[in-house]
């Protein structure tokens, strides 16, 4: 079985769904103490805290990326899934795992690529939005789309209610997509 590492920074509701849906996880790595790390520990998943704050005021992105790669190598990682991970990693990450870093994003890419996709979708007045699993590339532009799911926008939606409805979909789409991708990777 290929080894999956999940990278987190936040509340970890999607990580929780992966665990509940029996996605095999070799490592959960966090860039800061967070609820997602607690969820992984409580579920008995191997965890690693590689704190970005220890990489200086002028964040040393290359140095931090090296540490992350070292932790991933130590767990013989084959596939990396970002799940609310808030640190942009430097180019060596993508040399190490070409086409093997996935992310889930709360819009139907390529729409609403900015920092606030849910707010922007609502402001634009779209009637349909959703979530996208995509390959992460060294540039800030999301790479190839792997899977998408649509979510209806209601007239009464707020950013919070819409984001929560999108996350409900993300909790189905990401675990299912990761399971499929894992079957395409040879040990
Ligand atoms: C999700 O909305 C995902 O699209 C984005 O970060 C959020 C993670 O949520 N990349 P959680 O921390 O798993 O609750």
Contact 14, 167 (CB under 8 A): yes
Q: For 82-105, what is the HEC assignment?
A: ECCCCCCCCCHHHHHCCCCEEEEE
Residue 90, number of CB atoms within 10 A of its CB: 18
Beta-bridge partner residues of 81: 6, 102
Put simply, whether the predicted model's pTM sits higher than 0.75 gets the answer: yes
CA of 84 to the centre of ligand 1 (A): 4
pLDDT given for residue 156 in this prediction: 97
pLDDT tens-digit profile of 13-46? 999 999 999 999 999 999 999 999 999 999 999 9
Burial class (CB in 10 A: 0-12, 13-18, 19+), 10: middle
Contact 30, 37 (CB under 8 A): yes
Give alpha helix (H) positions in the chain: 13-20, 35-42, 61-74, 92-96, 117-124, 159-183
| Ligand 1 atom 4, closest CA | 105
Contact 104, 173 (CB under 8 A): yes
CA of 31 to the centre of ligand 1 (A): 15
| Ligand 1 atom 10, closest CA | 84
186 pLDDT more than 80: no
| Ligand 1 atom 6, closest CA | 84
Ligand 1 atom at shortest distance from the alpha carbon of 17:
13
pLDDT given for residue 169 in this prediction: 98
Q: Sign of torsion, CA 40 119 117 51?
A: negative
| Ligand 1 atom 1, closest CA | 84
Ligand 1 atom at shortest distance from the alpha carbon of 14:
13
In angstroms, the CA 134 to CA 143 distance is 6
Residues with CB under 6 A from ligand 1: 10-15, 36, 83-84, 104-106, 167, 170
Name the packing angle between helices 35-42 and 13-20 (round to 10°): 20
Average pLDDT over residues 165-184: 97
pLDDT tens-digit profile of 76-112? 999 999 999 999 999 999 999 999 999 999 999 999 9
> Which of 34, 103, 170, 171 maximizes ligand 1 atoms within 8 Å of its Cβ, making it the mutation to test the pocket?
170
pLDDT given for residue 78 in this prediction: 97
> Which of 13, 80, 83 maximizes ligand 1 atoms within 8 Å of its Cβ, making it the mutation to test the pocket?
83
140 pLDDT more than 80: no
Residue 29, number of CB atoms within 10 A of its CB: 23
> Which of 84, 131, 142 maximizes ligand 1 atoms within 8 Å of its Cβ, making it the mutation to test the pocket?
84
């Amino acid at each position: 079985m290929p080894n999956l590492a999940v990278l987190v920074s936040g509340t970890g509701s999607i990580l929780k769904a992966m665990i509940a849906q029996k996605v095999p996880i070799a490592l959960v790595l966090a860039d800061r103490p967070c609820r997602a790390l607690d969820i992984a520990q409580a579920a008995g998943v191997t965890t690693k805290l590689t704190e970005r704050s220890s990489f200086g005021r002028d964040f040393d992105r290359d140095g931090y990326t090296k540490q992350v790669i070292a932790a991933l190598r130590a767990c013989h990682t084959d596939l990396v899934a970002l799940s609310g991970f808030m640190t942009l990693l430097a180019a060596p990450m993508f040399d190490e795992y070409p086409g093997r870093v996935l992310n889930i994003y709360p819009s139907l890419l390529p729409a609403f690529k900015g920092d606030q996709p849910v707010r922007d979708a609502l402001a634009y007045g779209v009637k349909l939005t959703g979530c996208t699993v995509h390959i992460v590339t060294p540039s800030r532009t999301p790479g190839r789309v792997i899977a998408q799911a649509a979510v209806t926008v209601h007239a009464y939606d707020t950013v919070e209610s819409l984001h929560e409805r999108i996350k409900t979909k993300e909790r189905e789409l990401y675990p299912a997509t990761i399971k499929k991708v894992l079957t395409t990777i040879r040990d």
